[in-house]
């Protein structure tokens, strides 16, 4: 792991955002800027990836989707069991937190792409489909784990029947609604839609979009990470509330998910070092756009400070600064 990886402009801007917040600068970005920028970033990467994927091997693309589903469904279960075993959080908090860790962070993924580009490491386009696929399954697992947790709490605690017997027909229709929300969530629509447009659009038309897709991409990523640095630093204040055990989970879980992801990328999907690094990043990252509102609605009993602080305040900075070079080193070690 070299120091040069930390001197990436995008990572430096992330640090600047953190510092601006720590020194109490009056710097403020307009509300929703990070959301606007992430729509652009997903569009650009989707168009680029769709264009490349049109020329790709469909069998490998299909295999990537299967592995993305396997990761998306199993990582939150591992996270849940680990969290419950610590006895520091109740099962509903554990369900909500682990859903974040099964899903992915596009911001981390894009930073990894900037990192690989900077080192001139080649990577496959397939992890991009995996990014789109992995947004949603963890939300579904989170809902199922929360439903199980509610049942076990209800059976343990007979008095609480009024508050927790929410398994009626109303709950079922809510569950359906949540499933629909999970798969039609904004990031998924932007990413998959842009990939399809990139794949079917006339190449001459795509050529005209080049400045939009390629040339300003890194600059926008810097701006996005600048803003995200401030958002993350604001969450670090909640660190005390989260406690040392949960904070440790915010570092250990991405290391575990990253190692599993690199292994899947390298051994199961036969990707290059760059591709395996990206699958590692998918396994390691925790969602902060799609999953928090879904958990707010579906698991309102869980404490939002826990999952937001973990995913935004601990795991995201950890991955951007330490994780990505580490997963790259892991991939270098195991890709033949």
Partner 1 sequence: MVSLYAEKLLNIIANDSLEDRLVCMFKKYGVSGYTILTARGEGSSGHFSDMSGFDANILVKVVLPESRVQVILESIERKIKKGHHLTVYLSNVEVITPEKFEKTLS
Which parts of this chain interact with partner 1 (CB under 8 A)?
29, 31-35, 162-163, 166, 227, 230-231, 234-235, 238, 241, 288-289, 292-294, 296-297, 299-305, 308, 312
- Contact 107/228 with Cβ under 8 angstroms? yes
In this complex, which beta carbon is closest to partner 1, that of residue 274 or of residue 292? 292
Under 8 Å between Cβ of 298 and 146: yes
Tell the smallest beta-carbon distance from residue 308 to partner 1 (Å).
6
209 by DSSP, 3-state: which? coil
End-to-end CA distance of the chain: 19
d(CA 11, CA 4): 11
Chain centroid, CA 251 distance in Å:
14
**Residue among 271 and 306 whose Cβ is closer to partner 1:** 306
**Nearest distance, CB of residue 296 and partner 1, angstroms:** 4
Q: How far apart are CA 310 and CA 246, in angstroms?
A: 8
* Buried residues in 69-96 as b, exposed as e (16+ CB within 10 A): eebbbbbbebbbebbbeeebbebbbbbb
Minimal distance, residue 109 CB to partner 1, in Å: 17
Tokens of 176: 């359906």
What contacts 255, CB < 8 A, 6 or more positions away?
Answer: 284, 323, 326
Complex with partner 1: residue 270 or 301, whichever CB lies closer: 301
Per-residue buried b or exposed e for 150-173, using 16+ beta carbons within 10 Å of the residue's own CB: beebbeeeeeeeeebeeeeeeeee
Minimum CB–partner distance for residue 313 and partner 1 (Å): 11
- Closest separation in Å from C-beta 73 to partner 1: 24
Nearest distance from residue 98's CB to partner 1, in Å?
A: 18
Nearer Cβ to partner 1, position 23 or 162?
A: 162
Nearer to partner 1, 110 or 230 (CB): 230
- Cα gap 23→281, rounded to integer Å: 30
Nearer to partner 1, 59 or 162 (CB): 162
Min separation Cβ 301 and partner 1, Å: 4
Nearer to partner 1, 143 or 266 (CB): 143
């Amino acid at each position: 792991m070299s120091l040069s990886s930390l001197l990436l402009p995008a990572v430096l801007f992330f640090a600047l955002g953190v510092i601006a917040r720590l020194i109490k600068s009056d710097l403020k970005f307009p509300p929703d800027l990070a959301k606007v920028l992430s729509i652009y970033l997903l569009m650009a990467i989707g168009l680029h990836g769709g264009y490349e994927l049109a020329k790709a091997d469909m069998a490998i693309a299909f295999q990537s989707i299967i592995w993305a589903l396997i990761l998306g469904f199993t990582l939150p279960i591992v996270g849940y069991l680990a969290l419950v075993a610590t006895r520091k959080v109740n099962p509903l908090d554990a369900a909500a937190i682990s859903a974040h860790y099964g899903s992915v962070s596009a911001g981390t993924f894009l930073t990894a792409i900037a990192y690989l580009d900077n080192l001139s490491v080649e990577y496959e386009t397939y992890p991009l489909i995996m990014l789109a696929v992995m947004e949603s399954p963890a939300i579904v697992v989170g809902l199922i784990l929360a439903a199980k947790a509610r049942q076990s709490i209800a059976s343990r605690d007979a008095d609480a029947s009024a508050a927790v017997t929410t398994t009626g027909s109303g709950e079922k229709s809510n569950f359906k609604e949540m499933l629909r929300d999970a798969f039609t969530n904004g990031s998924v629509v932007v990413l998959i839609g842009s990939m399809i447009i990139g794949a079917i659009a006339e190449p001459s038309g795509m050529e005209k979009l080049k400045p939009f897709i390629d040339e300003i991409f890194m600059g926008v990523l810097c701006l996005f990470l600048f803003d995200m640095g401030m958002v993350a630093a604001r969450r670090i204040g909640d660190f005390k509330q989260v406690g040392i055990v949960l904070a440790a989970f915010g570092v250990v879980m991405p290391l575990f998910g990253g190692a599993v992801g690199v292994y899947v990328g390298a051994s199961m999907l036969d990707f290059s070092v760059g591709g395996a690094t990206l699958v590692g990043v998918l396994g390691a990252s925790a969602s902060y756009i799609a999953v928090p509102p879904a958990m707010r609605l579906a698991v309102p009993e869980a404490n939002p400070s826990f999952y937001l602080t973990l995913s935004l305040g601990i795991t995201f900075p950890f991955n951007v600064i330490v994780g990505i070079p580490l997963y790259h080193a892991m991939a270098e070690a195991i890709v033949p």
